């Protein structure tokens, strides 16, 4: 088995979740008493991930303290914290840690999702095709919450647009990706001039990879917690799942 790595992107300030995030990082908001970050770390460990890189920005000391306590009891998962005094954006975080990522494959995970998604199955799927990136998709999405994609008959993504005003489909990108180092070939060529600009996967990279991305659909539970409303809904669904009600 290869040494498996994952980027867990949690550095955002959680502006839409204010005032909950005024004194608590979004990734440490509790889901029935358990911080979301803990849920993710336990899930990554369960799925056989060997190392995870967590980016930090807002209230980083709280994240650092939590990781130190959790790591003392869980030696299997190697955790690296990458602090960003200025937010780099999702693509910027990957680029800054390109050498750590290696050749791949590696997971790219937006940490503001609550999920029981089977990463092992997605990795096996990724290994069956030759595209540089696999995107987890789901149907019936709210275009205000996610990127919208269009697929061809072979589930190759032929259109990618972040939160479009007029969506072309009801298929959303689910915030979990698998890539290899070929992803960096699709970064903007003028990247050296972007030092003061956040470099975002959904805006600056993935639209350039149309035709080179494979969609993966599993139907497993997954929800973002980006707003107070979605956080409350996710907590309710999680309670039902944990108690076997769904």
Give pLDDT, residue 167. 85
Tokens representing residue 181 in the block: 């180092």
Give pLDDT, residue 190. 72
CATH classification at residue 82: 3.90.550.10
Give pLDDT, residue 21. 96
pTM of the model: 0.93
φ/ψ of residue 218, rounded to 5: -125, -20
Give pLDDT, residue 1. 63
Cβ-proximal residues to 30 (8 Å cutoff; 6+ apart), any chain? 36
Give pLDDT, residue 140. 75
**Range(s) of the domain holding residue 115:** 5-242
Res. 246: pLDDT tops 80: no
Higher-pLDDT residue of 52, 32? 52
Per-residue DSSP letters for 199-220? --IIIIIGGGGTTSEEEEE---
Give pLDDT, residue 244. 65
Average of per-residue pLDDT across 151-156: 96
Total number of domains in the chain: 1
In angstroms, rounded to a whole number, what is the distance separating the alpha carbons of residues 141 and 186?
A: 26
pLDDT by residue (tens digit) across 175-208?
A: 999 999 999 999 998 765 455 468 999 999 999 9
Give pLDDT, residue 193. 46
Res. 141: pLDDT tops 70: no
44-47 — which CB contacts under 8 Å span 24+ positions?
Answer: 44/6, 44/8, 44/77, 44/119, 45/74, 45/76, 45/77, 47/118, 47/119, 47/120
163: left (phi over 0), alpha (psi -120 to 50) or beta: left
DSSP state at residue 3: -
């Amino acid at each position: 088995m290869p040494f498996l790595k994952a980027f867990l992107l949690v550095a955002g300030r959680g502006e839409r979740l204010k005032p909950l995030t005024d004194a608590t990082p979004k990734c440490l908001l509790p889901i029935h008493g358990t911080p979301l970050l803990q849920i993710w770390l336990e899930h990554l460990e369960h799925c056989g991930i060997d190392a995870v890189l967590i980016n930090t920005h807002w209230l980083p000391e709280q994240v650092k303290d939590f990781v130190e306590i959790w790591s003392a009891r869980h030696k299997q998962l190697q955790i690296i914290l990458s602090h960003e005094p200025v937010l780099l954006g999702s693509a910027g975080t990957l680029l800054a840690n390109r050498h750590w990522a290696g050749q791949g494959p590696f997971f790219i995970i937006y940490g503001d999702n609550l999920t029981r998604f089977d990463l092992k199955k997605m990795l096996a799927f990724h290994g069956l095709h030759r595209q540089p990136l696999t995107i987890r998709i789901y149907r019936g999405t709210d275009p205000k919450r996610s990127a919208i994609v269009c697929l061809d008959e072979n589930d190759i993504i032929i259109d990618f647009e972040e939160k479009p005003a007029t969506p072309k489909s009801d298929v959303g990108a689910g915030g979990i990706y698998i890539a290899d180092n070929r992803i960096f070939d699709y970064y903007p060529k003028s990247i050296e001039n972007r030092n003061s600009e956040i470099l975002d996967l959904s805006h600056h990279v993935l639209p350039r990879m149309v035709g080179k991305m494979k969609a993966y659909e599993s139907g497993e539970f997954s929800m973002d917690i980006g707003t107070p409303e979605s956080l409350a809904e996710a907590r309710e669904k999680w309670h039902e799942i944990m108690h076997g009600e769904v």
